[in-house]
Chain A
Amino acid sequence: MLTKRIIACLDVNAGRVVKGVQFIDIVDAGDPAELALRHAEAGTDEIVLLDITATQEERGTLIDTVRRTARQLFVPFTVGGGIRAVEDAAAVFDAGADKVSINSAAIARPELIGEIGNKFGAQAVIVAIDARRSREGGDAVANAEVYVSGGRKPTGRKVLEWAREAEARGAGEILLTSMDADGTRAGFDCELTARVSEAVQIPVIASGGAGTADHFADVLLQGKADAALAASIFHFGVANVRTLKEEIAKRGVPVRLPC
């Protein structure tokens, strides 16, 4: 049986892992290569490394950090941040990444999704969507808006439409971050995740708001997510991944155990 994935996200700034609370208040959490390996050995199903300052400071992804992190890692490894062209993606793959996650650049030039997909396969392209529920009244989920540049810039695009377009253009997976929930540890946005998951055929990774094992179970069951991603909950010993998996297995979530 296909299991639901638990993904550890390493938000990296200047070669160190950090974690923002709603994208601000950054706290240092360690060396990416060391943390990635520790997560994989503990049973995390996949590692994502996001260079969170790449777009902001207009610089390329930290290839050395990627290479160093990939060296001993034998689980799927995704890299995002600052990938604007096929050449940026190629450099990241060459350094040992299996997938790239593109966000702002895909909104700016949606053809990029297909360009990377044609060269490296659709499975290698994750389109990351930073979503915020609408405050304009009406259906806040149906009208949820896509934000870019680390959550600073609204795009005027609706989340559900953009997810469908990303799929049509050849994305292999969607990484959906609820900016409303991110950093709160109050739970994922299950309703938003379920709507996106139902709107597309490709897997959806839920992100933003992880705080307890129940939150993971909720988003993987009611939220219809194929995977759930979290960062800070793992680094600071709030939960370890094995306990987390055992807990959510009790709620009926299929997971990879023993891990």
Chain B
Amino acid sequence: MIAVIDYKAGNLTSVMKALLAVGAPAEATSDPDAVAKSDKLVLPGVGHFSATAFLEERGLKAAIRERINQGAPFLGICVGLQWLFEGSTESQDVSGLGAFGGRCECFAAGIKVPHVGWNSLEVKPSRLLQNVSSGEFVYYTHSYRAPVVNETVAVTNYGAPFTAAVERDNVMGVQFHPEKSGSLGLRILENFVRL
């Protein structure tokens, strides 16, 4: 079973619906025990980075860390990707998982924020984006972005390049919304589901 972690930030309906569409019924949960028993984990998220404090408060962060260490595939979406980094200037007192180095920051001045709409990917070989080509479009809506790191497997340009997707072994994240990126988005979710 795929556990979609509900940390009470925004709605999970779209992600649940998209997983169902690729043949992977998922369960929304805020329970660390359900995380421990899951085959795969999805951390969605639209909203403020501070909402991820809920994960620590409810013992979910420890449960996720343990499940990741045991090898369960993990996919963070939007704020869920940002949480994989050390933190975000959006909420200085809440720390992320720290699976990847660096902090998330707001887009620089001079461009419209939030970054809303369909933007293109430049991809490197990865498991998550195995059948995705550079130049294909995905849907974004966010004001903060993660730095480009060694584990970055796709970048998107908005003012400057930022991490569109990150992957190291079983730990993955996407800044865009695969559940809102049409057939390409579903293909990416399917890649994750089949891992």
Q: Which residues of A contact B (CB under 8 A)?
A: 1-5, 40, 45, 70-72, 74-76, 93-96, 98, 120-124, 172-173, 201-203, 226-227, 256
Contacts and interface: CB of A to CB of B under 8 A. Distances in A.
B113 A202 contact: yes
A232 B17 CA distance: 29
Given A74-B18, A75-B139, A121-B10, A173 B179 contact: no
Given A2-B117, A75-B182, A172-B116, 8 more contacts: A2-B119, A5-B118, A74-B179, A96-B13, A98-B180, A121-B48, A201-B112, A256-B137
Top 5 closest pairs, chain A to chain B, by CB? A121-B47, A123-B141, A93-B11, A256-B118, A256-B137
A70 to B, nearest CB: 7
B10 A70 contact: no
A121 B142 CA distance: 10
Interface range on chain B (Cβ under 8 Å from partner): 35 or more
Nearest to B18: A74
Contacts of A45: 117-118, 139
Nearest to B48: A121
Contact of A172 (B21, B118, B141, B157): B141
Main secondary structure, interface of B, reads mixed
Given A123-B46, A124-B46, A227 B117 contact: yes
Contacts of B18: 74
Secondary structure of the A contact surface, majority rule: loop
Interface of B: 9-11, 13-14, 17-18, 21, 46-48, 112-120, 137, 139, 141-143, 157-158, 177, 179-183, 185-186
A246 B62 CA distance: 50
A157 B10 CA distance: 31
A127 to B, nearest CB: 14
Given A71-B17, A173-B116, A201-B113, A2 B158 contact: yes
9 contacts: A2-B119, A3-B119, A45-B117, A70-B13, A70-B14, A74-B186, A120-B47, A123-B143, A256-B137
